[in-house]
Structure 1
Amino acid sequence: MMHLFNELPSRTKSNQVLSLRDLIVEGHSVLVNNDSSSTLTQLGESPVGVRLALIDPPYNRRTKFHHYNDSSSRERWITDIQLSCINLRKHLTDDGSLWMHIDDAEMPSARAALDDIFGRNNFIATIVWRKTVSRDNRMPISTTHEYILVYAKNKRLWFRSRHKLPATKEQRARYKNPDQDPRGPWTSGDLTAKAGPGRRREQFYNIITPSGRSVAPATGTCWRYTRERFQELIDDNRIDFGSGDKMPRLKRFLSEVDPGLVPDTWWEGSNVGTADSAKRHLKTLFPSVIPFETPTPEELTARILEIATNPGDLVIDVYGGSGTTAAVAMKTGRRWLLAERETQTFDAFTLPRLQLVSEGKDLGGVSGQYDWEGGGHFRVVEAND
Structure 2
Amino acid sequence: MSNGVSWGPDNPHPLSRMKTELVWEGKYDEYGNRRPVKLPTLPLPLQRIETIDEPRDREKAQQLSIFNEAAFHQQAHRDDFRNMLIWGDNKLVMAALLEQFRGKIDLIYIDPPFDVGADFTMQVQIGEEGEAVQKEQSILEAVAYRDTWGKGTDSYLHMMYERLTLMRELLSERGSIYVHCDWRMNAFLRQVLDDIFGRDRFLNHIIWAYKTGGIPENVGFSKKHDDILIYTKSDTPVFNQLLQKSYVPTLPEPTTISGKQLGVQRDEVCELCGVGRPGQKYRNVIMRDVWDDIQSIFRNDQQTTGFDTQKPEALLERIIKASSNEGDLVADFFCGSGTTLAVAEKLGRRWIGVDLGRYAIHTTRKRLIQVQRELHAADQPYRSI
Q: Which residue of 2 aligns with 1:36?
A: 90
Q: Which residue of 2 aligns with 1:58?
A: 113
Corresponding residue SS for 2:172? strand
State the 1:346 CA deviation: 1.4
Question: In the alignment, does 2:242 pair up with 1:165?
Answer: yes
Distance 1:56-1:166 versus aligned 2 partners, 3 A rule: same
Alignment map for 1:86-105 (pairs within 5 Å): 86-105=165-184
Whether the 8 Å contact between 1:272 and 1:303 is mirrored in structure 2 is: no
Specify the structure having the higher radius of gyration (Cα).
Answer: 1
Cα deviation 1:44-66 (Å, max 9, x = unaligned): 24625111011111112523450
Distance 1:260-1:38 versus aligned 2 partners, 3 A rule: farther
1:145 to 225, 233, 237: 225
Bigger relative contact order, structure 1 or 2 (CA pairs below 8 A, ≥6 apart): 1
Aligned mates of 1:273, 1:372 — CA distance in 2: 27
State the 1:19 CA deviation: 7.8
Corresponding residue SS for 2:216? coil
Whether the 8 Å contact between 2:98 and 2:170 is mirrored in structure 1 is: no
1:326 to 323, 333, 341: 341
Whether the 8 Å contact between 2:106 and 2:175 is mirrored in structure 1 is: yes
Cα deviation 1:212-255 (Å, max 9, x = unaligned): xxxxxxxxxxxxxxxxxxxxxxxxxxxxxxxxxxxxxxxxxxxx
Aligned mates of 2:289, 2:378 — CA distance in 1: 28
Whether the 8 Å contact between 1:21 and 1:44 is mirrored in structure 2 is: no
Q: Which residue of 2 aligns with 1:316?
A: 331
Whether the 8 Å contact between 1:357 and 1:374 is mirrored in structure 2 is: no
Alignment map for 1:171-250 (pairs within 5 Å): none
Aligned mates of 2:361, 2:65 — CA distance in 1: 16
Q: Which residue of 1 aligns with 2:208?
A: 129
Distance 1:135-1:35 versus aligned 2 partners, 3 A rule: closer
Q: Which residue of 2 aligns with 1:9?
A: 61
Aligned mates of 1:320, 1:129 — CA distance in 2: 19
Corresponding residue SS for 1:360? helix
Whether the 8 Å contact between 1:21 and 1:43 is mirrored in structure 2 is: no
Aligned mates of 1:137, 1:100 — CA distance in 2: 26
Aligned mates of 1:311, 1:260 — CA distance in 2: 24
Q: Is there any run of 5+ residues in structure 2 with no aligned partner, and where?
A: 1-49, 123-134, 249-282
Aligned mates of 1:37, 1:263 — CA distance in 2: 34
Distance 1:125-1:20 versus aligned 2 partners, 3 A rule: farther
Aligned mates of 1:30, 1:265 — CA distance in 2: 31
Aligned mates of 1:332, 1:51 — CA distance in 2: 14
Whether the 8 Å contact between 2:180 and 2:228 is mirrored in structure 1 is: yes
Aligned mates of 2:73, 2:160 — CA distance in 1: 22
Question: In the alignment, does 2:91 pair up with 1:77?
Answer: no
TM-score normalized by the length of structure 2: 0.61
Whether the 8 Å contact between 1:359 and 1:374 is mirrored in structure 2 is: no
Question: In the alignment, does 2:367 pair up with 1:343?
Answer: no
Corresponding residue SS for 2:64? strand
Cα deviation 1:147-194 (Å, max 9, x = unaligned): 00000111x312xx41111465989xxxxxxxxxxxxxxxxxxxxxxx
Aligned length: 268
Residue type matched to 1:273 in 2? Q
Whether the 8 Å contact between 2:201 and 2:231 is mirrored in structure 1 is: yes
Whether the 8 Å contact between 1:318 and 1:338 is mirrored in structure 2 is: yes
Structure with more helix by fraction: 1
RMSD: 3.4
Corresponding residue SS for 2:195? helix
Aligned mates of 1:92, 1:21 — CA distance in 2: 22
Whether the 8 Å contact between 1:330 and 1:376 is mirrored in structure 2 is: yes
Aligned mates of 1:358, 1:376 — CA distance in 2: 8
Once the two structures are overlaid, the 10-residue window that deviates more, 111-120 or 36-45, is 36-45
Percent of aligned pairs with the same amino acid = 24
State the 1:376 CA deviation: 3.7
Aligned mates of 1:63, 1:21 — CA distance in 2: 38
Q: Is there any run of 5+ residues in structure 1 with no aligned partner, and where?
A: 172-258, 363-370, 378-385
Whether the 8 Å contact between 2:116 and 2:156 is mirrored in structure 1 is: no
Aligned mates of 1:168, 1:320 — CA distance in 2: 30
TM-score normalized by the length of structure 1: 0.61
Q: Which residue of 2 aligns with 1:358?
A: 372
Residue type matched to 1:36 in 2? N
State the 1:309 CA deviation: 0.6
